[in-house]
Amino acid sequence: GQSLEQPSEVTAVEGAIVQINCTYQTSGFYGLSWYQQHDGGAPTFLSYNALDGLEETGRFSSFLSRSDSYGYLLLQELQMKDSASYFCAVNQAGTALIFGKGTTLSVSS
Amino acid sequence: KAGVTQTPRYLIKTRGQQVTLSCSPISGHRSVSWYQQTPGQGLQFLFEYFSETQRNKGNFPGRFSGRQFSNSRSEMNVSTLELGDSALYLCASSPDANTEAFFGQGTRLTVV
């Protein structure tokens, strides 16, 4: 079968750095994606890692280790607007995104 | 460039009825996927279509079905609705390999 594990909740203060981990078990692994979803909104794409290593996009970075079936999303210089749910998703065989249950990030001032 | 459009946005149905939801992908995107989102369960994959062919299917009962038309628009159908089918149904489109999926605003289905 397939499964993804990520923490259900994370809290932090403005300006801090937060790391959201994701471990996965799946067949047909193509890559790991991260999506952000604000309350009442649609999920939006943040990053995609097909190869091992770190991908940086502004304040957000994502890391993948295929040998460890592990990845993380790193959010730096946290802002209140970063309060949202964050989902890791495995790209399975290029035909499906299998999502974790999401991590709710609460940023306080 | 228009985004992914889902209709209707909200729907209330009675147990036992059936429902059809519609999704218009971004122009040029040939892959359309459907997800069910419920509190605490995240986004659960229903199925994916590419060029009118279902390429992948999640672990849902046969009451859930879908199709894709030649213009890439997609519909999903749920028959014999149950209370547990109440959820936000999200459609996502991508050019091909789902490296970056673009989601619609979803259809909020309530079964009473």
Q: What is the pLDDT of residues B23-34, one digit of tens each?
A: 999 999 999 999
Query: Average of pLDDT values for B3-17?
Result: 97
Q: Which residues of A touch B (CB under 8 A)?
A: 30-31, 33, 41-45, 48, 50, 87, 89, 91-102
Residue B95's pLDDT is 86
Q: Tell me the C-alpha distance between A80 and A14, whole Å.
A: 6
**Before B25, cis peptide (omega within 30)?**
no
Query: Average of pLDDT values for A88-98?
Result: 88
Mark yes or no for CB contact A99/B43 under 8 Å: yes
Residue B99's pLDDT is 77
pLDDT at residue A1 is higher than 70: no
Query: Average of pLDDT values for A32-48?
Result: 95
Grade residue A13 by pLDDT with cuts at 50, 70 and 90: very high
Can you read off the two tokens belonging to residue B56?
């992948």
Q: Which of B50, B55, B98 faces A91 most closely, judged by CB atoms? A: B98
Average pLDDT value for chain A: 95
Grade residue A2 by pLDDT with cuts at 50, 70 and 90: confident
Query: Average of pLDDT values for B93-100?
Result: 82
Residue A57 CB-density burial (10 A; 0-12 exposed, 13-18 middle, 19+ buried): exposed
Comparing CA positions, the residue from A79, A82, A106, A93 lying closest to residue A34 is A82
Query: Average of pLDDT values for A66-72?
Result: 97
Can you read off the two tokens belonging to residue B27?
């122009």
Q: Tell me the C-alpha distance between A62 and A53, whole Å.
A: 8
pLDDT at residue A77 is higher than 90: yes
Q: Which of B41, B42, B98 faces A96 most closely, judged by CB atoms? A: B98
Whole-number Cα distances in Å, B69 to A44, B7, B18, B23: 25, 16, 20, 11
Whole-number Cα distances in Å, B58 to A17, B6, B33, B55: 35, 20, 11, 11
Mark yes or no for CB contact A97/B98 under 8 Å: yes
Query: Average of pLDDT values for A40-51?
Result: 94
Residue B22's pLDDT is 98
Q: Tell me the C-alpha distance between A89 and A16, whole Å.
A: 25
**Before A43, cis peptide (omega within 30)?**
no
Determine the length of chain A. 109
